[in-house]
C-alpha cells in the first residue's frame, strides 16, 4: 500500500502579516488568499522492519532511523520529524515504521507558504494512513501547532488554512486559536481575468522569513505606532480586495495591491530592498498598476497586476533582473489524499 497527498501553495493577495501574533490576538487579522496549481507532495510507504526513512527529494536529503517514539529535532528535516513526534504522542502512542518522501514545487523562502503547506501535506498523508479523526479546521490547527508551538518556528496562520481548504478565501483571525475561513464564490469570468492579468514573478532570491516576522511581532509588542497603523491598513486592504473581486471591479485590483504594498513596507525592516524596489518600479513603468512581494518579504516571488494586455511588456521588462515568470492557475481544491 502507498499513501499519497498533495496540498496547494497560495498567493496572498491582501492582508498579509495580520495573521501573525501578537497583532492578530490584540486587534484581529484579515487576509484574502488564493490557492494555485503549485503543490507540496507527500508519500508514505509503510514498512515492517522497524525503520523510519525520511526522504526530501527537492532538498536532496535522506535520513534513516530505528523506529522510536521521538525523533531528535536537530535541524535536519525537522518538519517531518516534528509531525511524526506529534502523531505518536497524540494519536498512536507507539512507534511507526515507514518511508516518507516529500517534494515541493517551489523552493523554501519563496513566499508561497511552502513549509506550512508541506506540513499540511505530510499530516494529510498520515491522516489517510492512520484514519485520524481530523476535519479541515482540526488538521489546519494541528499543522499550525506543530510548526509554531512544537518546533517554535515564527510565522502566521494563513498558510496552514489555505493549504487545507484551497480556493479563494477571506480569512479572519481572532485571539487565541479562533480562525474563520470564508470561501468566496467568484464568477469564473472574474477569476479567469484575475489569473490572466496577475503575473507571478520569481525574483530567484530567497529570504529567512522568520527574521522579518520576528521584527514585525517585536514592533507590535513595543507598540510601534507606524508599524501597527500599517497593519491596520493591510487588514482594511483585505476587505477592499474581497469586495473588488466579488463585484468584478477588477480595474481596482492593482490600486489595492499598491495600497497594501506601500503600507506593508512600514511593518518592519527587511520587507523590501533595493532589488525589490527596482523590480517594482520597472513593472509599474511598463504597465503594471500595482503589485507586492509574496509572503513576509525580503525576496522570493512577487505578483503584479497587469491590465490592458500589459503582462507581456512587464515580463519582458523584468528579464534584465534575472528572474522568471511562473505559470500557474487558481485551484479550487485544498488538501487531497489517496491510497494505491
Q: Which residues are catalytic?
A: 159
Task: Yes or no: say if 305 and 291 are a contact pair by the CB < 8 Å rule.
Answer: yes
Closest CA to 139 of 106, 164, 173: 164
DSSP-derived secondary structure for 155-185: --SHHHHHHHH-SEEEEEE-STT-EEEEE--
User: How far is residue 272's CA from residue 26's CA, in Å, rounded to a whole number?
Assistant: 26
DSSP bridge partners of 32: 14, 170
Q: What are phi and psi of 302, to 5 degrees?
A: -120, 155
Long-range contacts of 176-181 (CB under 8 A, 24+ apart): 176/25, 177/141, 177/144, 179/137, 179/140, 179/141, 181/137
Q: How far apart are CA 47 and CA 21, in angstroms?
A: 40
Measured CA angle at 71 (ends 70, 73), to 5 deg: 120
| C-alpha–C-alpha distance, residues 258 and 230, integer Å | 13
Sheet holding 301-305, edge to edge: 290-293, 301-305, 198-202, 324-325
DSSP bridge partners of 338: 4
30-59 in b/e burial notation, b at 16+ Cβ within 10 A?
bbbbbbbebbbbbbbeeeeeeebebbbebe
The rounded distance, in Å, linking the Cα atoms of 209 and 295 is: 8
Amino acid at each position: 500500500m502507498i499513501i499519497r497527498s498533495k496540498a496547494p501553495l497560495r498567493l496572498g493577495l491582501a492582508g498579509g502579516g495580520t495573521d501573525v501574533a501578537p497583532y492578530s490576538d490584540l486587534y484581529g487579522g484579515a487576509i484574502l488568499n488564493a490557492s494555485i496549481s503549485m503543490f507540496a507532495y507527500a508519500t508514505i510507504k509503510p514498512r515492517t522492519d522497524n525503520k523510519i526513512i525520511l526522504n526530501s527529494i527537492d532538498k536532496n536529503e535522506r535520513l534513516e532511523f530505528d523506529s522510536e517514539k521521538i525523533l531528535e529535532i536537530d535541524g535536519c528535516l525537522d518538519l517531518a520529524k516534528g509531525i511524526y513526534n506529534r502523531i505518536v504522542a497524540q494519536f498512536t502512542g507507539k512507534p511507526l515504521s515507514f518511508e516518507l518522501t516529500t517534494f515541493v514545487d517551489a523552493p523554501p523562502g519563496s513566499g508561497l507558504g511552502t513549509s506550512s503547506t508541506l506540513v499540511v501535506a505530510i499530516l494529510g498523508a498520515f491522516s489517510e494512513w492512520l484514519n485520524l479523526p481530523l476535519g479541515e479546521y482540526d488538521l489546519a490547527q494541528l499543522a499550525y501547532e506543530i510548526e509554531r508551538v512544537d518546533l517554535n518556528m515564527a510565522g502566521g496562520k494563513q498558510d496552514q488554512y489555505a493549504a487545507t481548504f484551497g480556493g479563494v478565501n477571506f480569512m479572519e483571525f481572532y485571539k487565541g486559536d479562533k480562525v474563520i475561513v470564508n470561501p468566496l464564490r467568484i464568477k469564473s469570468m472574474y477569476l479567469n481575468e484575475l489569473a490572466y492579468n496577475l503575473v507571478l514573478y520569481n525574483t530567484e532570491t530567497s529570504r529567512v522569513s522568520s527574521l522579518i516576522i520576528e521584527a514585525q511581532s517585536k514592533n507590535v509588542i513595543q507598540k510601534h505606532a507606524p508599524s501597527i497603523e500599517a497593519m491596520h491598513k493591510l487588514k482594511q486592504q483585505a476587505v477592499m480586495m474581497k469586495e473588488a473581486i466579488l463585484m468584478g471591479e477588477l480595474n481596482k485590483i492593482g490600486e489595492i495591491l499598491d495600497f497594501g504594498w506601500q503600507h506593508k513596507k512600514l511593518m518592519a525592516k527587511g520587507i523590501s530592498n533595493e532589488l525589490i524596489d527596482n523590480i517594482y518600479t520597472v513593472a509599474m513603468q511598463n504597465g503594471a498598476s500595482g503589485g507586492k512581494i509574496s509572503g513576509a518579504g525580503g525576496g522570493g516571488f512577487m505578483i503584479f497586476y497587469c491590465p490592458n494586455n500589459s503582462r507581456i511588456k512587464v515580463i519582458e521588462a523584468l528579464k534584465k533582473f534575472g528572474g522568471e515568470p511562473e505559470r500557474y492557475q487558481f485551484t479550487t481544491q485544498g488538501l487531497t489524499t489517496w491510497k494505491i
